[in-house]
Amino acid sequence: MLGRNHVMIGLGLYLAADYVLGSGCTQPDLTNCLAAAALGSLAPDLDSPRSYLGRRLWPVSWTFSALIRHRG
């Protein structure tokens, strides 16, 4: 799955949960929460050095890659 797909699914799930649970975030809080959801949705691919986040955090990604095989 591509990074943009991870982000779109993560943001969609966050917005759905926010709507259902009614957290009552104000606009600045919502912006921060959306940014955190987008970043967090990229975390599952951190163990792949070729992923979007893996290329930016390559020392961490190479370490995870050596210890854990990427699924799929």
Picking from 51, 49, 42, the residue whose alpha carbon sits closest to that of residue 64 is 49
Q: How far apart are CA 72 and CA 62, in angstroms?
A: 17
Which residue ranges of the chain lie beneath pLDDT 50?
none
Neighbours of 8 (CB within 10 A): 13
- Reduced to 3 states (helix: H, G, I; strand: E, B; else coil), residue 72 is coil
Predicted pLDDT at 9:
92
pLDDT of amino acid 8: 93
pLDDT of residue 24: 65
